[in-house]
Structure 1
Amino acid sequence: MEDVEPHIIEAVELKDSSDPLRVVKDVAAGTCGGIAQVLVGQPFDTTKVRLQSAPPGTYTGALDVVQKLIRTEGPFAFYKGTLTPLVGVGACVSVQFGVFEGMKRFYQRQNISTGSSDGLTYTQYYVAGSMAGLANSILACPIEHIRIRLQTQTAASPKQFSGPMDVIRKITHSSGIAGIFRGITPTLIREGHGMGVYFLTYEYLVNRDMAKNNIARTDIPGWRLCVYGGCAGYGVWLSAYPFDVIKSKMQTDSIDPKTRQFSSTIDCARKILQTSGINGFFRGFLPTILRAAPVNASTFYAFELAMRAIG
């Protein structure tokens, strides 16, 4: 892709580089985005995880999951395990946005020091997003692991975990601290590539809007920010979804290493392919793609509003 023209990079972004509270502001705004993401996305995520992790034939599709969950466990079951992501995803998204905004400023300074424009190339946007995703993976992997263990408990089976701390206690007792990070490899791939596409898509659309309409970032209407955030959500899942399936399979495997189905990321991918074919890597895709637009629209909208409010 072509470089971003210098005139569409806001002057305020360069001044922000000297703000001693800039990182704190980025993280705070990211936390707002993360909270919005969890509240909007948790029902979709619970549906997705049930589809991804259940044995073949358990559900006929996303609607079947929703109907059975409401009938057997009640509507509040969609928010099982919400406490962990509400705290954790807020932290994850704050890391994502904090690292991404920091990388943008790094590239701006680098471009200026080498005599080129202060605009970022789209390659730089992708790398900045990838760095944000990789940094986030260290938090996202254990948080999602704990959440998935709670989400996949059903009323029809004996309750294995009483809450997030019980999940942590039982996993570490069985597998040590490393057990909490089960699925870290597919998480790193999903986040590294997926977040690169995610932020690249959003920034491309925002920059295009500013250039086309000759307006500042803060003048973009909220509804258009929501559209751009939704498109970013589609971008990440269309580019990285199979790795999310592999991660979910590994994180819903037995907590006892002796009785696990999957010995590694490659072994998990091979067995999914053997038992379900290519379609197995896209189980739960429908609720995920339906979730992508509202969840990421709310994430970016909350982030941008918070940034405008705190400066």
Structure 2
Amino acid sequence: MSMETEIAASLEGSHDDGSSRVIKDVLAGTCGGIAQVLSGQPFDTTKVRLQSAPEGKYTGALDVVKKLMANEGFSGFYKGTLTPLIGVGACVSIQFGVNEFMKRMFTGRNIQAGMADTRLSSGQFYLSGAAAGIANGFLASPIEHIRIRLQTQTSVPLLYNGPIDCIKKMYVGSGFAGIFRGLNPTLIREGHGMGMYFLAFEALVKKDMSRNKIERKEIPGWRLCTYGAAAGYAMWFTCYPIDVIKSKLQTDALSKTSQQYSSAIDCAKKIYTTNGIRGFFRGFLPTILRAAPVNACTFYAFELAIRYMG
């Protein structure tokens, strides 16, 4: 085996052929996605209700929690969980699968260029994550739209009887485009957000391996959790306002004639007019509280699955 091949194999932590590696990346990403949903759904429900509620309905995150527990019980936090459990598993598998593919591609380019240090640069980590986010955004947008509609319904009888009924009513209200409402801000959030997400995690892993002279598989679990938490902060601190716009668009009226926002830009203008800069950070507290445990679980589950599959 040549030195270049040894370097590439070391970076990937595997000698598998390409197709086998992709399958393992996707399966491990699915494990990470399931861990993400189960650990993060209560935080996400709280965030979405704060983001999309009429002005004055809630005084803050704790008020949402108190009212939800009083009116709907603990199960209310897990409204709409089936859709993200299936969908987010698929989304995260795409994120990690594309990110790992892009990392291999950049590693190959670095080797072909004859670079003395073939390890990926910060820019390459960011571009790998951004590509993963954009690829995932087309699937994440309708999945999140359905989840948000289900999470925010509080009236009785319920407007939607489940994910399928929700899709039907969205289609009747605005056609196929209605299902993908909020796609553009989702792509922006996913592209930049995932770029920062994977950049933060991979940079910390790279530094750990270099500082301690160990392989990736030797990094202890508690440090992987710490790096995953940092990745979550890196993402949300840099892309949260666009997520607020997305949530506003996806909780707007179904019928085009009744919608409050004509576009993402129109939504941003109205948020600023009504609440100023603070309006772009509604629900930020539960999101940041969620970021550490959820992304720690996501990356830990992914890395453990990769190690288990070899």
Q: Which TM-score applies when normalising by structure 1?
A: 0.95
Preserved CA contact (<8 Å) 2:81 2:147: yes
Preserved CA contact (<8 Å) 2:26 2:96: yes
Specify the alignment match of 1:46 in structure 2.
45
Cα offset for 1:10? 6.2
Specify the alignment match of 1:261 in structure 2.
260
Deviations 1:122-154 (A, max 9, x none): 100000000000000011000000000000011
Preserved CA contact (<8 Å) 2:228 2:299: yes
Structure 2 residue identity aligned to 1:84: T
SS of 1:77's equivalent in the other structure is helix
Structure 1 residue identity aligned to 2:44: D
Cα offset for 1:41? 0.2
Structure 1 residue identity aligned to 2:124: Q
Q: How many residues align?
A: 304
Deviations 1:155-176 (A, max 9, x none): x454211100000001111211
SS of 1:136's equivalent in the other structure is helix
Specify the alignment match of 1:82 in structure 2.
81
Distance 2:137 2:307 in 1: 27
Deviations 1:163-199 (A, max 9, x none): 0000000111121111111001110110000000000
Specify the alignment match of 1:103 in structure 2.
102
Specify the alignment match of 2:162 in structure 1.
163
Specify the alignment match of 1:251 in structure 2.
250
Specify the alignment match of 2:228 in structure 1.
229
Specify the alignment match of 1:136 in structure 2.
136
Preserved CA contact (<8 Å) 1:8 1:207: no
Unaligned runs of 5+ in 2: 1-5
Preserved CA contact (<8 Å) 2:8 2:107: no
Preserved CA contact (<8 Å) 2:9 2:15: no
Structure 1 residue identity aligned to 2:135: A
Identity of aligned residues (%): 64
Distance 2:12 2:278 in 1: 44
Preserved CA contact (<8 Å) 2:174 2:256: yes
Cα offset for 1:59? 0.3
Q: Which TM-score applies when normalising by structure 2?
A: 0.95
Q: Say whether 1:122 aligns with 2:122.
A: yes
1:1-311 equivalences in 2 (<5 Å):
11=10, 13=12, 16=15, 18-116=17-115, 117-154=117-154, 156-311=155-310
SS of 1:21's equivalent in the other structure is helix
Cα offset for 1:24? 0.4
Q: Which deviates more from structure 2 when the two are superposed, residues 95-104 or residues 114-123? A: 114-123
Distance 1:78 1:229 in 2: 23
Structure 1 residue identity aligned to 2:207: R
Cα offset for 1:115? 1.2
Structure 2 residue identity aligned to 1:289: I
Distance 1:169 1:144 in 2: 15
**CA shift in 2, pair 1:161/1:215, >3 Å:** same
Distance 2:267 2:84 in 1: 25
Preserved CA contact (<8 Å) 1:194 1:239: yes
Distance 1:173 1:88 in 2: 22
SS of 1:160's equivalent in the other structure is coil
Preserved CA contact (<8 Å) 1:80 1:150: yes
Preserved CA contact (<8 Å) 1:14 1:105: no
List structure 1 segments (4+ residues) > 2 angstroms apart after TM superposition: 7-10, 14-20
Distance 2:296 2:119 in 1: 25
**CA shift in 2, pair 1:277/1:288, >3 Å:** same
SS of 1:20's equivalent in the other structure is helix
Preserved CA contact (<8 Å) 1:17 1:105: no
Structure 1 residue identity aligned to 2:99: F
Structure 2 residue identity aligned to 1:261: Q
Cα offset for 1:16? 3.9
Cα offset for 1:19? 4.2
Structure 1 residue identity aligned to 2:248: K
Distance 1:8 1:200 in 2: 20
Specify the alignment match of 2:3 in structure 1.
none
